[in-house]
Amino acid sequence: MTVKEVDVLIIGAGPAGSMAAREASKNGAKTLIIDKKSEIGTPKRCGEGIMDGVLEKVELEVDERCIARHIDGARLVAPDGTSAWFTSETLETPATGVVLERKVFDKHVTMDAIRSGAEVMLKTEATGITRSDDSLIVDIHTFNNSFDQVKAKIVIGADGPEGRVGSWMGLNTKVPLSEMESGAQYEMTNLKMEKSDTIEFYFGSVAPGGYAWIFPKGYDTANVGIDVSGIKGEKTALEYLDDFIAQNEETMDGQIVEVNVGGNPLCGVFDKIIADNFMLVGDAAGCVSPITGGGIDTGLESGMMAGRVAARCIREGNYSEANLQEYSDYVNENIGKRFEKLITVRDFIYNLDDDDMNEYLGAIANANITKLSTKALLKAMIKVSPRKLLKLRKLL
């Protein structure tokens, strides 16, 4: 039995894990990051969209190769086709962002971790965890049999939406079916988008309990996807996606160049994301927006904080849950509380029927919104039906 010893072991080299690795190693911890995949970032399971400011917040400089398309705002489409456009033509403060090339971006974040001193092992899968004195022992299956176990003072579970590492540690990471969205997406080309630099969201029965999207990656190329509720959909996410594509003028002549499917946990941050010697980050911790299913930003943010706290605990020689609490408090304060509000909005929006959805999106389209925010959208909706939206009023 060959055992490798490190200060911090990170399981999963997605954005959250690689960011945790960068920060842990930069701050002095001997860090190993492993991933069961043979290529980081591939296959992608992501619409790849992020808002401006996300990368700056985690001090990540990327070159243009990581970016497929710069985005100028969004279009929200009601079941009756009414569109609310929020672009630099309508907004005082433009809502800009990028559609990433995750296959390049994820590698870039991992390379940053390597440059900070972290070691990376691919095709290396964690298969179980046991406790030994003041460390954790992780069973490993590597492609080259270079070691069988890793002994780590701190383990960070960054193993994504279907992660099992948290449950191995006794944390409750079960997502109720009602809060699990099924995602399906094609990268498509030969599309005829009205504006090929605006992301589009389609609501209503086209995607029960969720939404469909078109995120442009080029003038005629985009990620076209759908998220549907685990309990509301009568068909599979792929069937809803095929119907959406066949009925939408922008996509009906498109051709598929990539298929992506995956689950999205929309329950918000799990109640407990730390234990002695252990932290969860990113999707594995529930750091996924309960309304959009987006988790690149909060994955990076949680990973950054976890890596920093892990390095401090290593320096102090104290890996207890109490000493890791700073990380959990940060996530709850900066991500969890915001998500709790979004869950209320989500439960309202995703339960509307098509008629109500037409009415609310019609109101939003006519509201002359010049600064795009959840608050601005809620205000426009509340005007339509103040009594129905009493619950949402509290969020303003």
Give contact residues for ligand FAD (rule: CB under 6 A): 11-17, 34-37, 45-50, 125-126, 158-161, 163, 183, 185, 225, 260, 262, 264, 282-284, 288, 293-297, 299
Least Å distance, CB 7 to ligand FAD, is 18
Please, what is the minimum distance in Å from the beta carbon of residue 141 to ligand FAD?
8
Distances (CA, A) of 142 to 9, 125, 146, 278, 307: 15, 6, 7, 22, 24
What is the smallest separation between the CB atom of 182 and ligand FAD, expressed in angstroms?
9
Query: Whole-angstrom Cα distance, residue 109 to residue 107?
Result: 5
Q: Give the nearest distance from C-beta 349 to ligand FAD in angstroms.
A: 18
- Say how far apart CA 105 and CA 52 lie, in whole Å: 15
Distance in angstroms (rounded) separating the CA atoms of residues 377 and 360: 9
Shortest distance (Å) from residue 362 CB to ligand FAD: 26
Nearer to ligand FAD among residue 44 and residue 379 (C-beta): 44
Identify which of 225, 212, 217, 226 has the alpha carbon closest to the alpha carbon of residue 198: 217
CB atoms within 10 A of CB 330: 18
Instruction: Compare residues 293 and 307 and give the one whose CB is closer to ligand FAD.
Output: 293
- Quickly list H helices, the chain: 15-26, 54-57, 102-115, 165-168, 237-247, 296-316, 321-331, 337-349, 354-365, 374-384, 390-393
Minimum Å gap between C-beta 316 and ligand FAD is 26
β-pair type (180-189, 255-265):
antiparallel
| Nearer of residues 266 and 345 to ligand FAD, judged by Cβ | 266
**Paired tokens of 319:** 């890996």
Q: Which is nearer to ligand FAD, 135 or 264 (CB)?
A: 264
Q: Which is nearer to ligand FAD, 318 or 373 (CB)?
A: 373
Nearer to ligand FAD, 35 or 72 (CB): 35
